[in-house]
Amino acid sequence: MPITIISMADEFNWDMHTQGWILSSFSVGYLSSLIAGGSAAKKYGGKRVLTLAVFLWSISAFFTPYFASSWMVMVFFRFLLGVGEGIGLPTIFHIFAYAVSPEERGRAFSYLIAMGSIGQTAAGLISPHIYWPLVFFIFGGTGLIWVALWILFTKSVVECELDAQEYLAPPTKVSEQSTPWRECFTRRPLWAIYCAHFSMNWSNYIIMQWLPTYLVRFLGGGPTEIMLTALPYVANSLCGIGRSLRYLCRLASLNNILVSWLLNVN
Protein backbone atom coordinates (compact mmCIF):
# COMPACT_ATOMS: atom_id res chain seq x y z
CA MET A 1 0.00 0.00 0.00
CA PRO A 2 2.73 2.60 0.74
CA ILE A 3 3.92 2.14 -2.86
CA THR A 4 0.58 1.79 -4.62
CA ILE A 5 -0.90 4.77 -2.79
CA ILE A 6 1.25 7.06 -4.95
CA SER A 7 -0.58 6.01 -8.12
CA MET A 8 -3.90 5.75 -6.30
CA ALA A 9 -3.59 9.28 -4.93
CA ASP A 10 -3.03 10.63 -8.45
CA GLU A 11 -6.01 8.69 -9.80
CA PHE A 12 -8.47 9.51 -7.01
CA ASN A 13 -7.16 12.98 -6.07
CA TRP A 14 -6.24 12.16 -2.48
CA ASP A 15 -4.36 14.84 -0.60
CA MET A 16 -1.67 14.08 1.99
CA HIS A 17 -4.20 14.27 4.81
CA THR A 18 -6.36 11.57 3.22
CA GLN A 19 -3.32 9.42 2.51
CA GLY A 20 -2.34 9.73 6.16
CA TRP A 21 -5.73 8.42 7.27
CA ILE A 22 -5.51 5.46 4.89
CA LEU A 23 -1.97 4.49 5.86
CA SER A 24 -2.40 4.96 9.61
CA SER A 25 -5.63 2.95 9.80
CA PHE A 26 -3.56 -0.21 9.38
CA SER A 27 -1.61 0.60 12.54
CA VAL A 28 -4.81 1.22 14.50
CA GLY A 29 -6.19 -2.18 13.49
CA TYR A 30 -2.89 -3.89 14.21
CA LEU A 31 -2.58 -2.40 17.68
CA SER A 32 -6.18 -3.16 18.62
CA SER A 33 -5.95 -6.90 17.93
CA LEU A 34 -2.58 -8.02 19.34
CA ILE A 35 -3.82 -9.02 22.79
CA ALA A 36 -7.04 -10.48 21.41
CA GLY A 37 -5.05 -12.63 18.98
CA GLY A 38 -3.02 -14.33 21.69
CA SER A 39 -6.09 -14.96 23.85
CA ALA A 40 -8.07 -16.33 20.91
CA ALA A 41 -5.26 -18.70 19.92
CA LYS A 42 -5.12 -20.06 23.45
CA LYS A 43 -8.88 -20.55 23.60
CA TYR A 44 -9.78 -21.73 20.09
CA GLY A 45 -6.51 -23.20 18.79
CA GLY A 46 -3.72 -21.76 16.71
CA LYS A 47 -4.73 -23.31 13.39
CA ARG A 48 -8.25 -21.89 13.43
CA VAL A 49 -7.21 -18.42 14.53
CA LEU A 50 -4.31 -18.19 12.08
CA THR A 51 -6.64 -19.31 9.29
CA LEU A 52 -9.04 -16.51 10.20
CA ALA A 53 -6.23 -13.95 10.47
CA VAL A 54 -4.66 -14.69 7.07
CA PHE A 55 -8.08 -14.94 5.41
CA LEU A 56 -9.07 -11.57 6.87
CA TRP A 57 -6.01 -9.68 5.67
CA SER A 58 -5.96 -11.49 2.31
CA ILE A 59 -9.61 -10.84 1.51
CA SER A 60 -9.28 -7.18 2.51
CA ALA A 61 -6.28 -6.81 0.20
CA PHE A 62 -7.86 -8.72 -2.70
CA PHE A 63 -11.04 -6.61 -2.79
CA THR A 64 -9.31 -3.26 -2.28
CA PRO A 65 -9.29 -2.30 -6.01
CA TYR A 66 -13.07 -2.69 -6.22
CA PHE A 67 -13.71 -0.08 -3.50
CA ALA A 68 -10.66 2.15 -3.86
CA SER A 69 -12.66 5.12 -5.16
CA SER A 70 -14.00 5.72 -1.63
CA TRP A 71 -11.22 6.70 0.75
CA MET A 72 -13.44 5.96 3.78
CA VAL A 73 -13.94 2.37 2.60
CA MET A 74 -10.19 2.21 2.08
CA VAL A 75 -9.67 3.23 5.70
CA PHE A 76 -11.99 0.40 6.76
CA PHE A 77 -10.23 -2.16 4.57
CA ARG A 78 -6.82 -1.12 5.85
CA PHE A 79 -8.13 -1.37 9.40
CA LEU A 80 -9.31 -4.94 8.71
CA LEU A 81 -5.93 -5.80 7.24
CA GLY A 82 -4.26 -4.48 10.38
CA VAL A 83 -6.61 -6.51 12.58
CA GLY A 84 -5.74 -9.66 10.65
CA GLU A 85 -2.00 -9.12 10.91
CA GLY A 86 -2.29 -8.17 14.58
CA ILE A 87 -4.05 -11.45 15.28
CA GLY A 88 -1.58 -13.43 13.19
CA LEU A 89 1.70 -12.65 14.96
CA PRO A 90 0.78 -13.74 18.53
CA THR A 91 -0.98 -16.77 17.05
CA ILE A 92 2.24 -17.82 15.31
CA PHE A 93 4.07 -17.45 18.62
CA HIS A 94 1.44 -19.69 20.23
CA ILE A 95 1.92 -22.33 17.52
CA PHE A 96 5.69 -22.21 17.91
CA ALA A 97 5.33 -22.76 21.66
CA TYR A 98 3.54 -26.06 21.05
CA ALA A 99 4.96 -27.33 17.76
CA VAL A 100 8.65 -26.34 17.94
CA SER A 101 11.16 -27.75 20.39
CA PRO A 102 12.82 -25.27 22.79
CA GLU A 103 16.19 -25.85 21.12
CA GLU A 104 14.80 -24.84 17.72
CA ARG A 105 12.57 -21.92 18.70
CA GLY A 106 15.29 -19.29 18.38
CA ARG A 107 16.05 -20.43 14.85
CA ALA A 108 12.34 -20.62 14.03
CA PHE A 109 11.79 -17.04 15.19
CA SER A 110 14.81 -15.81 13.23
CA TYR A 111 13.52 -17.46 10.05
CA LEU A 112 10.08 -15.97 10.69
CA ILE A 113 11.55 -12.46 10.87
CA ALA A 114 13.81 -13.04 7.88
CA MET A 115 11.03 -14.45 5.67
CA GLY A 116 8.84 -11.46 6.49
CA SER A 117 11.61 -9.14 5.36
CA ILE A 118 12.11 -11.18 2.19
CA GLY A 119 8.41 -10.79 1.44
CA GLN A 120 8.66 -7.03 1.95
CA THR A 121 11.70 -6.96 -0.30
CA ALA A 122 9.85 -8.81 -3.06
CA ALA A 123 6.89 -6.45 -2.75
CA GLY A 124 9.19 -3.43 -2.92
CA LEU A 125 10.82 -4.71 -6.10
CA ILE A 126 7.65 -5.84 -7.88
CA SER A 127 5.03 -3.25 -6.95
CA PRO A 128 6.55 -0.15 -8.62
CA HIS A 129 6.53 -1.82 -12.04
CA ILE A 130 2.96 -3.14 -12.31
CA TYR A 131 -0.48 -1.53 -12.44
CA TRP A 132 -1.59 -0.90 -8.87
CA PRO A 133 -4.75 -3.13 -8.81
CA LEU A 134 -2.60 -6.12 -9.78
CA VAL A 135 -0.55 -5.64 -6.62
CA PHE A 136 -3.59 -6.28 -4.45
CA PHE A 137 -4.83 -9.14 -6.62
CA ILE A 138 -1.43 -10.88 -6.58
CA PHE A 139 -0.68 -10.61 -2.87
CA GLY A 140 -4.28 -11.00 -1.72
CA GLY A 141 -4.78 -14.00 -4.00
CA THR A 142 -1.53 -15.56 -2.78
CA GLY A 143 -2.79 -15.25 0.78
CA LEU A 144 -6.09 -16.94 -0.09
CA ILE A 145 -4.24 -19.81 -1.78
CA TRP A 146 -2.07 -20.15 1.32
CA VAL A 147 -5.19 -20.38 3.49
CA ALA A 148 -6.54 -23.24 1.38
CA LEU A 149 -3.23 -25.13 1.56
CA TRP A 150 -2.95 -24.45 5.29
CA ILE A 151 -6.39 -25.94 5.93
CA LEU A 152 -5.77 -29.00 3.76
CA PHE A 153 -2.23 -29.98 4.69
CA THR A 154 -1.54 -28.90 8.26
CA LYS A 155 -2.44 -30.43 11.57
CA SER A 156 -3.97 -28.63 14.49
CA VAL A 157 -1.74 -27.41 17.30
CA VAL A 158 -3.10 -30.17 19.53
CA GLU A 159 -2.04 -32.82 17.00
CA CYS A 160 1.40 -31.24 16.68
CA GLU A 161 1.73 -31.28 20.44
CA LEU A 162 0.87 -34.99 20.59
CA ASP A 163 3.29 -35.84 17.76
CA ALA A 164 6.08 -33.82 19.38
CA GLN A 165 5.83 -35.28 22.87
CA GLU A 166 8.81 -37.55 22.17
CA TYR A 167 11.27 -34.67 21.77
CA LEU A 168 9.65 -31.69 23.43
CA ALA A 169 10.52 -31.03 27.04
CA PRO A 170 7.69 -31.56 29.52
CA PRO A 171 5.66 -28.36 29.75
CA THR A 172 6.39 -26.19 32.73
CA LYS A 173 3.51 -25.93 35.14
CA VAL A 174 2.54 -22.31 35.51
CA SER A 175 0.01 -21.34 38.12
CA GLU A 176 -2.86 -19.15 37.01
CA GLN A 177 -2.10 -15.66 38.27
CA SER A 178 -3.39 -12.24 37.43
CA THR A 179 -1.20 -10.04 35.25
CA PRO A 180 1.06 -7.85 37.45
CA TRP A 181 0.09 -4.61 35.73
CA ARG A 182 1.68 -2.42 38.39
CA GLU A 183 5.11 -3.97 37.90
CA CYS A 184 4.70 -3.75 34.13
CA PHE A 185 4.54 0.04 34.45
CA THR A 186 6.99 0.62 37.32
CA ARG A 187 10.02 -1.54 36.45
CA ARG A 188 12.85 0.43 34.85
CA PRO A 189 14.23 -2.49 32.79
CA LEU A 190 10.80 -2.93 31.23
CA TRP A 191 10.64 0.77 30.38
CA ALA A 192 14.00 0.44 28.66
CA ILE A 193 12.53 -2.34 26.52
CA TYR A 194 9.40 -0.27 25.83
CA CYS A 195 11.45 2.73 24.69
CA ALA A 196 13.75 0.64 22.50
CA HIS A 197 10.84 -1.20 20.90
CA PHE A 198 8.92 2.04 20.35
CA SER A 199 11.91 3.70 18.71
CA MET A 200 12.58 0.69 16.50
CA ASN A 201 8.97 0.51 15.32
CA TRP A 202 8.73 4.28 14.86
CA SER A 203 11.65 4.33 12.44
CA ASN A 204 10.54 1.10 10.77
CA TYR A 205 7.02 2.30 10.03
CA ILE A 206 8.15 5.76 8.94
CA ILE A 207 10.43 4.10 6.39
CA MET A 208 7.78 1.59 5.34
CA GLN A 209 4.80 3.97 5.12
CA TRP A 210 6.24 7.28 3.93
CA LEU A 211 9.62 6.75 2.27
CA PRO A 212 8.13 5.86 -1.17
CA THR A 213 5.95 9.00 -1.11
CA TYR A 214 8.91 11.14 -0.05
CA LEU A 215 11.11 9.79 -2.85
CA VAL A 216 8.45 10.51 -5.48
CA ARG A 217 6.81 13.72 -4.27
CA PHE A 218 9.83 15.57 -2.90
CA LEU A 219 12.83 14.08 -4.70
CA GLY A 220 11.23 13.40 -8.08
CA GLY A 221 11.98 9.69 -8.00
CA GLY A 222 10.46 7.01 -10.21
CA PRO A 223 9.95 3.24 -10.06
CA THR A 224 13.69 2.57 -9.96
CA GLU A 225 14.18 4.88 -6.98
CA ILE A 226 11.17 3.37 -5.20
CA MET A 227 12.87 -0.01 -5.45
CA LEU A 228 15.56 1.36 -3.13
CA THR A 229 13.03 1.19 -0.28
CA ALA A 230 13.59 -2.58 -0.34
CA LEU A 231 17.21 -2.22 0.84
CA PRO A 232 16.41 -2.00 4.58
CA TYR A 233 14.46 -5.24 4.33
CA VAL A 234 17.33 -6.96 2.53
CA ALA A 235 19.59 -6.09 5.47
CA ASN A 236 16.91 -7.13 7.94
CA SER A 237 16.43 -10.51 6.29
CA LEU A 238 20.18 -11.21 6.37
CA CYS A 239 20.58 -10.20 10.00
CA GLY A 240 17.38 -11.92 11.05
CA ILE A 241 18.84 -15.37 10.44
CA GLY A 242 21.20 -16.42 13.19
CA ARG A 243 23.70 -18.05 10.87
CA SER A 244 23.97 -14.96 8.69
CA LEU A 245 24.39 -12.77 11.76
CA ARG A 246 27.12 -15.07 13.06
CA TYR A 247 28.90 -14.83 9.71
CA LEU A 248 28.67 -11.02 9.74
CA CYS A 249 30.06 -10.92 13.27
CA ARG A 250 32.99 -13.09 12.23
CA LEU A 251 33.58 -10.87 9.20
CA ALA A 252 33.55 -7.80 11.43
CA SER A 253 36.05 -9.44 13.77
CA LEU A 254 38.37 -10.23 10.85
CA ASN A 255 38.10 -6.64 9.63
CA ASN A 256 39.00 -5.35 13.09
CA ILE A 257 42.04 -7.62 13.18
CA LEU A 258 43.08 -6.42 9.71
CA VAL A 259 42.69 -2.75 10.68
CA SER A 260 44.72 -3.28 13.86
CA TRP A 261 47.47 -5.00 11.89
CA LEU A 262 47.62 -2.18 9.33
CA LEU A 263 47.84 0.43 12.09
CA ASN A 264 50.67 -1.45 13.77
CA VAL A 265 52.54 -1.83 10.49
CA ASN A 266 52.24 1.86 9.72
pLDDT in tens, 74-100: 999 999 999 999 999 889 888 888 888
Measured in whole angstroms, the distance separating CA 115 from the mean position of its chain's CA atoms is 9
123 neighbors 229 (Cβ within 8 angstroms)? no
Distance CA 164, CA 129 (A): 45
Mean pLDDT of 165-193: 70
> Is 253's pLDDT higher than 90?
no
- The number of beta carbons lying within 10 Å of the beta carbon of residue 50 is 24
Q: For residue 186, is it within any domain? A: no
Domain count, the chain: 1
Mean pLDDT of 15-30: 91
Q: For residue 202, is it within any domain? A: no
pLDDT-above-70 percentage for the chain: 80
Global pTM value: 0.76
Look over the chain and give the mean of its residue pLDDT values, rounded to a whole number: 80
| DSSP letter (8 states) at residue 241 | S
Q: For residue 9, is it within any domain? A: yes
- Cα dihedral 49, 51, 53, 59 in deg (nearest 10): -150
Q: For residue 72, is it within any domain? A: yes
Condensed to tens digits (0 to 9), the pLDDT of residues 102-134 reads 878 777 887 887 787 788 888 888 888 899 999
Q: For residue 81, is it within any domain? A: yes
Q: For residue 257, is it within any domain? A: no
Q: For residue 239, is it within any domain? A: no
Q: For residue 24, is it within any domain? A: yes
Q: Which domain holds residue 68?
A: 4-105+130-167+209-226
